[in-house]
A and B are shown apart, each in its own frame.
Chain A
Amino acid sequence: MDGEPAVRARGLTKRYGDVTAVDAMELDVPVGVAFGLLGPNGAGKTTFMRMLFGLVRPDAGSVEVFGRNVADHGVAALAPVAGFVESPRFYPYLSGRANLEVLARLDQPYGDGPDIDLVLETVDLTDRQRSRVREYSYGMVQRLGVAAALLRNPQLLVVDEPTNGLDPAGIRDMRELIARLAGSGITVLLSSHNMLEVEQVCDRVAIMRRGGIAFDGSITDLRAMADDVGYRLTTEDDRRALELCEHTPGLHRLELGLDGLRFEASQSAVEDLTRRLGAAGIGTRELAARTTALETLFFRLTESRSEVLM
Chain B
Amino acid sequence: MSSTTAVFRVEWRKLAAQPRLRAGFAVLLIAPWLFIALVLHQDRLPVETLYGRYLKDSGFATPLVVLVFSTQWIFPLIASLISGDVFSSEDAHGTWKTVLTRSVSRGEMFWGKVAAAFTATVAAVVVLGTSATLAGVALVGSQPLVNVGGVLVPARSALGHVALSWLVVLPPVLAFAALAIAVSILTRSSVLGVLVPVVIGLVMQMYVFLNAWDTVRHVLLNSPMNAWRGLFDTPAYTDPLERGLLVALAYLAASIAISLIAFHRRDITGG
Contact with A along B127-141 (1 / 0, CB 8 A): 000000000000000
CA distance A105 to B103 in the complex (A): 9
Enumerate A227-286 residues with CB–CB distance to B below 8 Å: none
Assess whether A109 is in contact with B18, with CB atoms less than 8 Å apart: no
Closest to A132 in B: B17
Assess whether B94 is in contact with A89, with CB atoms less than 8 Å apart: yes
B13 in complex: contacting residue of A56, A102, A108, A148, CB < 8 Å: A102
Identify which of A28-36, A73-81, A192-200 touches chain B: A73-81
Given that A50-B268, A109-B3, A109-B6 are known contacts, is A84 also in contact with B103, CB under 8 Å in the complex?
no
Assess whether A79 is in contact with B9, with CB atoms less than 8 Å apart: no
Given that A55-B268, A105-B9, A106-B6 are known contacts, is A89 also in contact with B101, CB under 8 Å in the complex?
no
Given that A55-B267, A105-B9, A109-B5 are known contacts, is A75 also in contact with B104, CB under 8 Å in the complex?
yes
A89 in complex: contacting residue of B3, B9, B95, B106, CB < 8 Å: B95
> Is A82 part of the binding interface, using a Cβ–Cβ cutoff of 8 Å?
yes
> Is B215 part of the binding interface, using a Cβ–Cβ cutoff of 8 Å?
no
> Is A152 part of the binding interface, using a Cβ–Cβ cutoff of 8 Å?
yes
CA distance A108 to B267 in the complex (A): 25
CA distance A94 to B15 in the complex (A): 11
Given that A94-B14, A106-B99 are known contacts, is A50 also in contact with B94, CB under 8 Å in the complex?
no
> Is A83 part of the binding interface, using a Cβ–Cβ cutoff of 8 Å?
yes
Assess whether B97 is in contact with A89, with CB atoms less than 8 Å apart: yes
Assess whether B101 is in contact with A55, with CB atoms less than 8 Å apart: yes
Shortest C-beta distance, B184 to chain A (Å), equals: 17
CA distance A75 to B106 in the complex (A): 9
CA distance A195 to B249 in the complex (A): 58
Enumerate A82-105 residues with CB–CB distance to B below 8 Å: 82-86, 88-94, 98, 102-103, 105
CA distance A9 to B94 in the complex (A): 26
Closest to B92 in A: A92
CA distance A64 to B100 in the complex (A): 18
Closest to B101 in A: A53
Assess whether B17 is in contact with A55, with CB atoms less than 8 Å apart: no
Assess whether A110 is in contact with B2, with CB atoms less than 8 Å apart: yes
> Is B187 part of the binding interface, using a Cβ–Cβ cutoff of 8 Å?
no
Enumerate B1-29 residues with CB–CB distance to A below 8 Å: 2-3, 5-7, 9-10, 13-14, 17-18
Shortest C-beta distance, A132 to chain B (Å), equals: 10
> Is A57 part of the binding interface, using a Cβ–Cβ cutoff of 8 Å?
yes
Contact with A along B228-271 (1 / 0, CB 8 A): 00000000000000000000000000000000000001011101
CA distance A2 to B269 in the complex (A): 33
A55 in complex: contacting residue of B3, B6, B7, B100, CB < 8 Å: B100
Question: Contacts of A89 on B, CB cut-off 8 Å?
Answer: 93-95, 97-98, 271
> Is B102 part of the binding interface, using a Cβ–Cβ cutoff of 8 Å?
yes
A82 in complex: contacting residue of B101, B105, B269, CB < 8 Å: B101
> Is A107 part of the binding interface, using a Cβ–Cβ cutoff of 8 Å?
yes
Closest to A145 in B: B98
Assess whether A75 is in contact with B14, with CB atoms less than 8 Å apart: no
Question: Contacts of A84 on B, CB cut-off 8 Å?
Answer: 97-98, 101
Question: Contacts of A106 on B, CB cut-off 8 Å?
Answer: 3, 6-7, 10, 99, 102-104
Assess whether B2 is in contact with A105, with CB atoms less than 8 Å apart: no
Question: Contacts of B268 on A, CB cut-off 8 Å?
Answer: 50, 55-56
Given that A102-B10, A106-B7, A110-B2 are known contacts, is A56 also in contact with B102, CB under 8 Å in the complex?
no
Shortest C-beta distance, B4 to chain A (Å), equals: 9
Assess whether B102 is in contact with A107, with CB atoms less than 8 Å apart: yes
Question: Contacts of B9 on A, CB cut-off 8 Å?
Answer: 105
CA distance A108 to B102 in the complex (A): 9
B99 in complex: contacting residue of A103, A109, A152, CB < 8 Å: A103
Question: Contacts of A109 on B, CB cut-off 8 Å?
Answer: 2-3, 5-6
Given that A55-B101, A75-B105, A85-B97 are known contacts, is A50 also in contact with B6, CB under 8 Å in the complex?
no
Shortest C-beta distance, B95 to chain A (Å), equals: 5
Which 8 pairs, one residue from A and one from B, show the smallest C-beta to C-beta distance?
A109-B6, A106-B102, A55-B268, A89-B94, A109-B2, A56-B267, A89-B271, A75-B105
Can you give 19 A-B contacts (C-beta < 8 A)?
A50-B267, A53-B97, A53-B101, A55-B267, A56-B268, A57-B265, A81-B101, A89-B93, A89-B97, A89-B98, A89-B271, A91-B95, A94-B14, A98-B13, A105-B9, A106-B6, A106-B104, A109-B3, A109-B5
- Taking A93-B18, A106-B3 as given, write out 5 further A-B residue pairs in contact, using a Cβ cutoff of 8 Å, ordered by the A residue number: A50-B269, A57-B265, A90-B98, A102-B13, A109-B3
Which residue numbers of A lie inside 8 Å of B, CB to CB? 50, 53-57, 74-75, 78-79, 81-86, 88-94, 98, 102-103, 105-110, 148, 152
